[in-house]
Copies of this chain bind each other. A is one copy, B any other.
Amino acid sequence: MITSPTLATSGAERLVLAGLARSATLNAQEVQLVSSCASHTDSVEAGQELAELGTFLSKPKLVLSGWVGHARLLDDGRRQIVELNIAGEPTAFGLRPLSKARASYVALTPVRYAEIGELVERAMARPDQYPGLVSGLRAADDEGHSRLYDHVVRAGRMLAHERLAHFALDLCRRHERVGLCVSQSFPMPLTQEVLGDVLGLSTVHVNRTLQQLRREGLLKTTSGRWQIPSVEHLETVAGGGAHGQ
């Protein structure tokens, strides 16, 4: 695997790292454990694999920037991206030890990440000493599970424009959590081809559906960002896909 040399961790990235705790506050011991991760960061270019299908997830990471996809391939080349991880989310991560990768974890953009293997191990070994981290990791795992449910509903029962609306709302909320969402606007570095692999649509249809949403003023797409002018309005388009819980 080709990786660029470890770069200094920026202040913004430290903030993302600290966000691991989700809503909980961290005690002194936890803060130290988190900051020790700041020196174990690395990056990969787009297209690189972070974890291989079927292997053990022994090296969990926290995404600092960029997007990771959990991809499954069908033998004729079709691809389905089952889940995404953006900044602030654990990836190549399984709460219980010995969990295997159920997909190929691919960097969909250049990705910076921190190794959190040691952090996870220590925290899970003594939950009483690391309550904030443990609840943060559990919450992240739980949200991932929830998103899988959403994804099945999207792919199974929603029309193209509903899928896009539902997906955009999900991304908006997730970026809000890490402070990357300003005035309902967040980064969208994915090509329409990749977007199709996420939503179960062809590239061409993604393009046409996006145009429709733009025409109706439901979504603005400018220079690698999406903006949602009215969340309420977009929610009505997304159907009743029961967000979050």
Q: Which residues of A contact B (CB under 8 A)?
A: 53-54, 70, 72-76, 78-80, 82, 95-96, 99-100, 102-103, 138, 141-142, 145-146, 148-149, 151-153, 155-158, 199-200, 239-242, 245
Contact = CB atoms under 8 A, between A and B. Distances in A.
Copies of this chain held together in the complex = 2
B152 A75 contact: no
Contacts of A75: 239-240
A180 to B, nearest CB: 25
Contact of A152 (B73, B95, B148, B242): B148
A142 B82 contact: no
A105 to B, nearest CB: 12
A207 to B, nearest CB: 18
A153 to B, nearest CB: 5
22 contacts: A53-B242, A53-B245, A70-B149, A72-B152, A74-B239, A78-B157, A78-B239, A80-B153, A80-B157, A82-B149, A96-B141, A96-B142, A99-B142, A100-B245, A102-B146, A102-B245, A145-B145, A148-B152, A152-B155, A155-B155, A155-B200, A157-B200
Given A82-B149, A96-B142, A200 B156 contact: yes
Given A72-B149, A96-B142, A142-B96, A79 B157 contact: yes
B72 A242 contact: yes
B74 A240 contact: yes
Given A79-B157, A145-B145, A245 B138 contact: no
A138 B158 CA distance: 32
Contacts of A78: 157, 239
A149 B99 CA distance: 14
B149 A74 contact: no
Contacts of A103: 149
Given A74-B239, A82-B152, A240-B74, A54 B245 contact: yes
